[in-house]
Structure 1
Amino acid sequence: MKNIHFIVNPAAGSGNHLISREFLENFFEKEDYAITIKNSDYKKHAKALTHTSITEDADIIVACGGDGTINEVASCLVNTNIILGIIPLGSGNGLASNLKIPKTIESAIALIKTKSVKKIDVGLINEHYFFSNTGIGIDAQVIRHYENSNQRKLLSYIKSTLKALKDLNYGNEITVEINGEKIQTNPFMVFISNSNEMGYKISLTPMASLQDGLLDVLIVSKISRLKSLYFGFLILIKKHHLIKEAKCYQANAIKIHQANKKVYESQIDGEFFNINSEAINISLLEKSLHVIA
């Protein structure tokens, strides 16, 4: 008998989902599956619930929510034999899309029952895991504005992007160490990705793979507000590499440091984070997470 635990973010997808014990019992036969459902009620609650599920000998733990919920659950399962399942309920659902997990709840459940498991790479930024992407610069500011909005829709991302561009303010110059090279830049963004999609089918790293042992890195040096709008247009048509300020790399380790400042405003899998450290060390743990995909 398989012991499956569902960690559900009730607020995901504006709370308009059907996941309950009664609903799931229509798909998981009692003689084959033992089902446990837990609701996460606040930030980091999903992580605590997952730790408890591990002690309760769960075989599969299913994250039901957006990329933030998935990050909390998956972070507890790195380098274990417990399998991650995903029912995407968020707005962007970048990781689920990359893993070809269906958007409909019924189809995602059907995939979980196939037990089609892959081992994927996991990123590490200082002590925080990431599964899709992380970054500092304009993407972090967009997420900060997005989290302060009351809606979780594509339109909210667009509004948050425009606010971030309006408030665009370049800080200290940083040094990025990658592949033995030291790059000094005052960045518009430093974007590090493990997967090939951010959500809504938008990608800054279309060649990234969850299984290649490499992180894809996009560094865009300081650009004007006008050029940033042009850059945004190029992203939509998947030609953002055409501006001269954009440089692409692949690496399994990156270090970022800056003088006279020890706080980095960042985003990790679409969640805003302040990283309090003299330097940021980013690395990759190859094939360290089992996930149904």
Structure 2
Amino acid sequence: MNSENYILLVVNPISGDCNKSTIIASVKEEAKNRNYNFKLYETSGKKDKEAINSLIKEINPSRIVVAGGDGTISLVAQCVLGTDICLGIIPAGSANGIAVNFNLPETLLEQIEIALSDCTIKLDAVTINGRICLHIADLGLNAELINNYENSGIRGKLGYFLQSIPTLLHSESPFQFKVETEEETFEETGILLAIANGNKFGTGANINPHGKMDDGKFEILIFKNLDFIEIFKTINDQQKMSPDFVRIISTNKAKINSKRKVPFQIDGEFLGKIDEVTASIGKEKILMAVPDSFCKLQLQK
């Protein structure tokens, strides 16, 4: 079957708080206008990776469009890693950190246009404890917040906001970390350790302003304290942060240990408490459709 004739739309029906039926109808209509065949898969939380891999083998799509949050995007990315299948995204989750990094527009039709466009980059995939990370993983305060959010009954950004104060009040931080890379080994105390391939959290806070998603490296950022002036800088996209606030290391391989188990998340999915992390970047990449402005921004860094 001719792969150029198929678009596979993968939808997470329960992510975020937006209307998925509108997304499905709009992508289906645009596929028809472009003379593509259209196939829909809705995730169920049970053997989704196996089902998506089976569909890829069956229809061999030239493009997969994902409508969901960061977790759904990462799930599909695992299925296309190292292939020439292009991945396009429609942000439909709670925080949408990957979409925020790409500066995707707010309107659905513009998002679909970009998801089906020829402007693409080959993204690094960071393997963290055997799982793929496209965006940001972290240990500490933010992972605690995600866990509290997942256990609450309110979705969307409001849910994150409502959980932020109790998370701060009851946080187990600070944490003691030991970081080993090929370049150096050191120990540091902090409230959060991030492993960042991307630049921004879903809130828009730019914690890794000099990071590139296609340079074969990731950044380790250890935030030492709750300095609200420095936090304000990240929210306002300021490029320079004080070394008293954050320590930054750029590398392609690292081992991280903590003296006690720390809350841990990858791309918005809480994965429990751990005391050891290994992270590395492999040679295989992910072909991703992005706005033209993002491609130009990456070239400027």
Q: Which bin holds the TM-score, normalised by the shorter protein? A: 0.7 to 0.9
Moved more, 209-218 or 170-179: 170-179
Cα deviations across residues 172-198 of structure 1 (Å, max 9, x unaligned)? 633111353222233311111111121
Alignment CA distance shift 1:286-1:97 (3 Å): farther
Q: Number of residues paired by the alignment?
A: 285
* Secondary structure, counterpart of 1:247 in structure 2: strand
Q: Does 1:55 align with 2:57?
A: yes
* Secondary structure, counterpart of 1:219 in structure 2: strand
**Equivalent-residue separation in structure 2 for 1:29 and 1:49 (angstroms):** 24
Alignment CA distance shift 1:107-1:70 (3 Å): same
Matched-pair contact (CA < 8 Å) for 2:17–2:156: no
Matched-pair contact (CA < 8 Å) for 1:120–1:286: no
Alignment CA distance shift 1:22-1:201 (3 Å): closer
**Equivalent-residue separation in structure 2 for 1:288 and 1:30 (angstroms):** 30
Q: Does 1:17 align with 2:20?
A: yes
Structure 2: segments with no counterpart, 5+ residues: 291-301
> In structure 1, what is the equivalent of residue 287 of structure 2?
290
Q: How does 1:95-114 map to 2 (within 5 A)?
A: 95-114=98-117
**Equivalent-residue separation in structure 2 for 1:82 and 1:237 (angstroms):** 35
Displacement of 1:9 after TM fit?
0.9
Matched-pair contact (CA < 8 Å) for 2:178–2:188: yes
**Equivalent-residue separation in structure 1 for 2:117 and 2:215 (angstroms):** 24
**Equivalent-residue separation in structure 2 for 1:31 and 1:241 (angstroms):** 46
> In structure 2, what is the equivalent of residue 268 of structure 1?
266
> In structure 2, what is the equivalent of residue 92 of structure 1?
95
* Secondary structure, counterpart of 1:150 in structure 2: coil
**Equivalent-residue separation in structure 2 for 1:142 and 1:149 (angstroms):** 11
**Equivalent-residue separation in structure 1 for 2:108 and 2:220 (angstroms):** 33
Displacement of 1:8 after TM fit?
0.4
Q: How does 1:90-169 map to 2 (within 5 A)?
A: 90-169=93-172
Moved more, 237-246 or 133-142: 237-246
Displacement of 1:29 after TM fit?
2.4
Moved more, 2-11 or 240-249: 240-249
Alignment CA distance shift 1:142-1:242 (3 Å): same
**Equivalent-residue separation in structure 2 for 1:121 and 1:218 (angstroms):** 18
Alignment CA distance shift 1:247-1:157 (3 Å): same
Matched-pair contact (CA < 8 Å) for 1:175–1:257: yes
**What is the TM-score when the length of structure 2 is the normalising length?**
0.84
Structure 1: segments with no counterpart, 5+ residues: none
> In structure 2, what is the equivalent of residue 244 of structure 1?
244
Alignment CA distance shift 1:46-1:14 (3 Å): farther
Structure 2 counterpart of 1:165, one-letter code: L
**Alignment RMSD:** 2.6
Moved more, 135-144 or 80-89: 80-89
**Equivalent-residue separation in structure 2 for 1:172 and 1:109 (angstroms):** 42
**Equivalent-residue separation in structure 2 for 1:8 and 1:264 (angstroms):** 32
Matched-pair contact (CA < 8 Å) for 1:50–1:61: no
**Equivalent-residue separation in structure 2 for 1:97 and 1:172 (angstroms):** 28
